[in-house]
């Protein structure tokens, strides 16, 4: 056994006649070939920097009988401690520690942890980085405004540009070290392609310390020096977020009317902020100031500047300035300069949808004006409409800021639609008024045309040669009329139905009924709608091009559907032209009612060169065992086209008992199960009537062309472990047919012995069996020699006599 573990080779030689065959095996070829995992942890730079004794750890997970050694600059070094633990998967975990002085460690160029095993050798190394040293640059980021509203804040230290990568980072409050539990050092990361390194350290400061006016230092030890970044004493006095300033200029309505006007400045920022107004470089007194403290350590300040309209128009630049010990910021209103441009006004009528509601909207679009100051109002007749009845959208730049535009929307209640009033959109710009006015008959016509739905005859009636009908349904304004135009000539309609709707519209239905032969002769059939405000038509045009016959394909119900109360048979019809087609289903030779199937709309394919459609037949579960055939039939042109199911369509759900066969190969047993349905089946293996504990695999059932299922189960066996008289049993349970079947196989008590050798199998004789054979052989030889000596002695005595 020792020779085996040392890696000695053992060979089995087989000679038969002139043929000689051998197979060699060793411990290394028989054991696992996976290399060990080595985790090598170098000493912390903190210990190196402080000049303490430092330790490097090597943790190895690998095969048993592995040894670990340390190689320092080519020379083996003793390790301080070794810890070895056996794992459950025939491996061991070895921990080895190398402890030296900090000075020795800094002198090393290459430190390696080497793992040795009879079957392999592997090592991991720590190599000293070479290159010019680069000092770190430290930068501190203040806590964000969001953090200052929470229970703690985070101070971030960004350390960049250092080389080599060894660094030790800590924090101090004042001149005292902060415990490492209060900060987190992220791993060192290469930057600039590995030319230098960077890292981030995050210090958490509880809210209770914000008022202590302490300074915080981020300190980094690198090489032989300390590097530092320090916060100011007022770290939590100032926010890194500037205040928000909203500056609202006076309304142009007040300026245009010559009244006193007001500009408002609303500031949200830190406490102790002050506001001042600067007009063309000179400070101006504000009329009123209002200040409110918020819950997030900020305040809202409102300041108002009130002057005459004439003064405001004379100002070039008006600024609101916010001053705080930590910052100064301002926002300004600057007079626009450039050539003045007059606005253009356009009115849009209410839409058809609005005319069916309780109110309608009149839209005024104002474009092309400069500067942006404008005042818009509405009038009914010559009276102003209250601002609650209209909405002015914000002014927006157009043409890259060369001019401006805006939209105003007036809501008109339904009870005013019959008053014959005119409505005016009026815009004051510069020193003038501009206007757009509606006609007196604003609500007589709608700007939206009527909706026409034209339905051609169904192809079933055309194919059967019956009289056919085309329907035209129109939704539009009252007093509309509908007429039919066939190939340029007006045609009488068979029936007209008109219904008044609640939204001042009517729905008209007109039907054109002709013979199937007449319809097929038409090239273009149009439905024309006429009204005093408009004329519109919709048409059906005969498709032209070479006829193409449909191709029908049936898709069987899915396995999931066969577990429900009904199944769906899908008929895919493709490649036909023109688009006219009639599809139905039959069970045997009888038509199935249209309530049992659904024909999807026809869709173009291949860019409109041909068409396709899908029909879906629902078959109830109680019909699955009737052995009926189902046909999908499509009428196209003058012919029928058909796709039919086989008789075995639902064979997979009709309960059928399985058939099993048990087969034997050189290394496993195979249990074949076939000809059963439905799909669910259970296969188990027994050895001497006990469940087999070893793994066996059972394949997913597969469905054959006859709709029945088959599967197989494999179980491996060992020739040496399968003793005579042992019985393997394949047990099959099929719940749907309440069937339990079994097949078994056993190894006979007397078998014909034949020598054979499988190159794919490694054979070895246990050491206990070899000892027994050797004992028997020795006994036989000794007895043979004793018999030979006794016979010789007796012969010699008789000859002498």
Beta-bridged to residue 61, according to DSSP, are 37, 93
Residue 239 — very low, low, confident or very high, per pLDDT cuts 50/70/90? low
If you average pLDDT over every residue of the chain, what do you get? Answer: 84
**Domain end residue (candidates: 334, 365, 398):** 334
Q: What is the sign of the dihedral through the CA atoms of 201, 207, 208 and 214? A: positive
Q: What is the pLDDT of residue 424?
A: 93
**Domain end residue (candidates: 230, 252, 286):** 230
Q: Is the pLDDT of residue 369 over 90?
A: yes
Q: What is the sign of the dihedral through the CA atoms of 278, 280, 284 and 290? A: negative
Q: What is the mean pLDDT of residues 245-250?
A: 92
267 and 201, same structural domain? no
| CA 99/CA 79 separation, integer angstroms | 7
pLDDT in tens, 318-355: 999 988 766 788 999 999 999 999 999 999 877 766 66
Long-range contacts of 700-705, Cβ-Cβ distance < 8 Å, separation of 24 or more? 703/652, 703/679, 704/674, 705/648
Q: What is the pLDDT of residue 356?
A: 60
Q: Secondary structure of the chain: what % helix, strand, coil (to 5)?
A: 15, 50, 35
Q: What is the mean pLDDT of residues 489-516?
A: 84
Q: pTM surpassing 0.85?
A: no
The pair of structure tokens assigned to 736 is: 């749907």
Q: Is the pLDDT of residue 641 over 90?
A: yes
| Residue 379 belongs to a domain | yes
Q: Which of 153, 143, 144 is nearest to 208 (CA)?
A: 153
| Residue 756 belongs to a domain | no
Q: What is the pLDDT of residue 769?
A: 47
299 and 261, same structural domain? yes
User: Exposure of 180 by Cβ count < 10 A (0-12 exposed, 13-18 middle, 19+ buried)?
Assistant: exposed
| E-only strand ranges, 399-502 | 403-413, 423-429, 432-437, 451-455, 467-477, 481-486, 489-491, 495-500
Residue 765 — very low, low, confident or very high, per pLDDT cuts 50/70/90? very low
Q: Which of 733, 617, 747 is nearest to 680 (CA)?
A: 733
User: Residue 275: helix, strand or coil by DSSP?
Assistant: strand
| Residue 482 belongs to a domain | yes
250 and 196, same structural domain? no
pLDDT in tens, 663-686: 988 888 899 999 888 888 999 988
Domain that holds residue 93: 31-127
| Residue 15 belongs to a domain | no
pLDDT in tens, 257-314: 988 999 999 998 877 788 999 999 999 887 767 888 876 667 899 999 999 999 999 9
| CA 238/CA 148 separation, integer angstroms | 10
| CA 618/CA 567 separation, integer angstroms | 6
Angle at 627 between CA 624 and CA 632, to 5 degrees: 85
Under a CB-based contact definition with an 8 Å cutoff, are residues 530 and 481 in contact?
yes
407 and 366, same structural domain? yes
The per-residue DSSP string of 560-595 comes to TGGGSSEEEEEEEEEEEBSS--EEEEEETTEEPPGG
Q: Is the pLDDT of residue 739 over 80?
A: yes
| CA 159/CA 183 separation, integer angstroms | 15
Q: What is the pLDDT of residue 479?
A: 72
180 and 105, same structural domain? no
Q: What is the pLDDT of residue 797?
A: 66
536 and 565, same structural domain? no
Residue 752 — very low, low, confident or very high, per pLDDT cuts 50/70/90? very low
Q: Which of 791, 773, 795 is nearest to 783 (CA)?
A: 791
| CA 756/CA 255 separation, integer angstroms | 113
| Residue 117 belongs to a domain | yes
| CA 701/CA 710 separation, integer angstroms | 5
Sheet of 91-101: strand order equals 37-41, 53-63, 91-101, 81-86
Q: What is the pLDDT of residue 23?
A: 72
* Element of type H or E holding 71: strand 67-72
User: Exposure of 124 by Cβ count < 10 A (0-12 exposed, 13-18 middle, 19+ buried)?
Assistant: middle
569 and 514, same structural domain? no
The pair of structure tokens assigned to 528 is: 């024309």
Under a CB-based contact definition with an 8 Å cutoff, are residues 512 and 457 in contact?
no
Q: What is the mean pLDDT of residues 493-508?
A: 79
| Residue 16 belongs to a domain | no
Residue 705 — very low, low, confident or very high, per pLDDT cuts 50/70/90? confident
Residue 799 — very low, low, confident or very high, per pLDDT cuts 50/70/90? low
Residue ranges of alpha helices (H) inside 496-644 are 516-521
| Residue 507 belongs to a domain | yes
579 and 503, same structural domain? no
For 103, phi then psi, to 5°, come to -65, -40
| CA 286/CA 274 separation, integer angstroms | 12
Residue count (the chain): 801
771 and 720, same structural domain? no
Q: What is the pLDDT of residue 200?
A: 95
| Residue 754 belongs to a domain | no
Q: What is the pLDDT of residue 25?
A: 62
- Please tell me which residue, 599 or 783, carries the higher pLDDT value: 599
Q: What is the pLDDT of residue 610?
A: 94
741 and 715, same structural domain? yes
Under a CB-based contact definition with an 8 Å cutoff, are residues 500 and 506 in contact?
yes
641 and 555, same structural domain? yes
* Element of type H or E holding 336: none
Count of structural domains within the chain: 8
For residue 684, give Cα distances in angstroms to 401, 702, 744. Answer: 82, 18, 12
How many CA atoms lie within 13 Å of 562's alpha carbon, on the beta-carbon side? 18
**Domain end residue (candidates: 541, 567, 589):** 541
801 and 771, same structural domain? yes
CATH number, residue 407 = 2.60.40.10
């Amino acid at each position: 056994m020792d020779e085996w573990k040392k890696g000695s080779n053992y060979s089995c030689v087989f000679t038969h006649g002139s043929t000689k065959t051998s197979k060699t095996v060793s411990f290394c070829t028989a054991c696992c070939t996976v290399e060990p995992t080595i985790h090598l942890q170098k000493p912390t730079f903190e210990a190196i920097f402080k000049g303490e004794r430092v330790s490097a750890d090597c943790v190895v997970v690998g095969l048993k009988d592995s040894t670990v050694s340390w190689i320092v600059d080519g020379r083996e070094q003793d390790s301080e401690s070794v810890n070895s633990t056996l794992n459950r998967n025939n491996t061991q975990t070895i921990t080895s520690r190398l402890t030296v002085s900090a000075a020795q460690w800094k002198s090393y160029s290459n430190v390696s942890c080497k793992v040795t095993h009879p079957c392999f050798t592997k090592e991991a190394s720590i190599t000293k980085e070479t290159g010019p040293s680069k000092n770190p640059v430290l930068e501190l980021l203040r806590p964000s405004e969001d953090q200052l509203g929470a229970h703690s804040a985070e101070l971030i230290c960004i350390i960049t540009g250092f080389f080599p990568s060894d660094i030790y980072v800590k924090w101090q409050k004042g001149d005292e070290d902060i415990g490492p539990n209060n900060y987190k050092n992220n791993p060192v990361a290469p930057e600039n392609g590995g030319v230098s390194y960077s890292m981030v350290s995050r210090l958490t400061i509880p809210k209770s310390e914000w008022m202590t006016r302490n300074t915080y230092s981020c300190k980094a030890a690198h090489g032989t020096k300390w590097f530092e970044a320090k916060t100011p004493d007022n770290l939590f006095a100032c926010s890194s977020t500037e205040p928000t300033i909203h500056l609202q200029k006076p309304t142009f309505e007040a300026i245009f009317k010559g009244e006193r006007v007001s500009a408002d400045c609303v500031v949200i920022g830190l406490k102790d902020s002050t506001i001042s107004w600067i007009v063309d470089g000179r400070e101006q007194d504000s009329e009123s100031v209002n200040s409110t403290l918020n819950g997030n350590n900020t305040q809202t300040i409102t300041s108002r500047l009130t002057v005459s309209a004439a003064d405001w128009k004379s100002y070039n630049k008006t600024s609101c300035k916010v001053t705080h010990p930590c910052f100064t910021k301002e926002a300004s209103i600057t007079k626009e300069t450039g050539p003045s441009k007059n606005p253009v006004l356009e009115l849009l009528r209410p839409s058809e949808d609005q005319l069916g509601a309780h109110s309608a909207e009149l839209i005024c679009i104002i474009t092309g004006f400069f500067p942006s100051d404008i005042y818009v109002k509405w009038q009914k007749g010559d009276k102003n409409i209250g601002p609650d009845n209209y909405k002015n959208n914000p002014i927006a730049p157009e043409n890259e800021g060369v001019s401006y535009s805006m939209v105003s929307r007036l809501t008109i209640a339904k009870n005013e639609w019959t008053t014959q009033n005119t409505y005016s959109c009026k815009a004051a710009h510069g020193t003038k008024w501009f206007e757009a006015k509606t006609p007196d008959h604003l609500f007589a016509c709608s700007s939206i045309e009527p909706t026409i739905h034209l339905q051609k005859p169904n192809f079933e009636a055309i194919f059967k040669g019956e009289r056919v009908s085309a329907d035209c349904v129109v939704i539009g304004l009252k007093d509309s009329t509908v007429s039919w135009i066939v190939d340029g000539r007006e045609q009488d309609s068979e029936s007209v139905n008109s219904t008044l709707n609640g939204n001042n519209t009517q729905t008209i239905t007109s039907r054109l009924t002709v013979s199937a032969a007449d319809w097929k002769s038409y090239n273009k059939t149009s439905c024309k709608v006429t009204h005093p405000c408009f004329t519109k038509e919709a048409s059906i045009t005969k498709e032209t091009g070479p006829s193409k016959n449909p191709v029908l394909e049936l898709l069987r119900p899915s396995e999931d559907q066969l577990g429900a109360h009904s199944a769906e048979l899908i008929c895919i019809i493709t490649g036909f032209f023109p688009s006219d087609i009639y599809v139905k289903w039959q069970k045997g030779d009888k038509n199935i009612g249209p309530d049992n199937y659904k024909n999807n709309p026809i869709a173009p394919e291949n860019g409109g060169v041909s068409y396709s459609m899908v029909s879906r037949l629902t078959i109830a579960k109680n019909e699955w065992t009737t052995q009926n055939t189902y046909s999908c039939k499509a009428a196209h042109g003058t012919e029928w086209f058909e796709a039919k199911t086989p008789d075995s369509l639902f064979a997979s759900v009709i309960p059928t008992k399985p058939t099993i066969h048990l087969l034997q190969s050189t290394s496993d047993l195979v249990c074949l199960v076939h000809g059963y349905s439905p799909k669910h089946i259970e296969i188990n293996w027994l050895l001497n009537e006990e469940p087999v504990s070893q793994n066996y695999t059972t394949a997913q059932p597969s469905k054959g062309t006859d709709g029945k299922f088959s599967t197989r189960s494999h179980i491996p066996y060992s020739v040496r472990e399968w003793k005579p008289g042992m019985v393997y049993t394949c047990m099959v349970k099929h719940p749907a047919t309440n069937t339990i079947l079994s097949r078994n196989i056993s190894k006979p008590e007397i078998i014909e012995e034949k020598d054979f050798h499988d190159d794919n199998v490694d054979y070895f004789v246990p050491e206990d069996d070899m000892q027994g054979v050797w004992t028997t052989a020795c006994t036989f030889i000794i007895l043979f020699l004793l018999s030979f000596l006794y016979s010789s002695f007796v012969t010699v005595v008789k000859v002498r006599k």
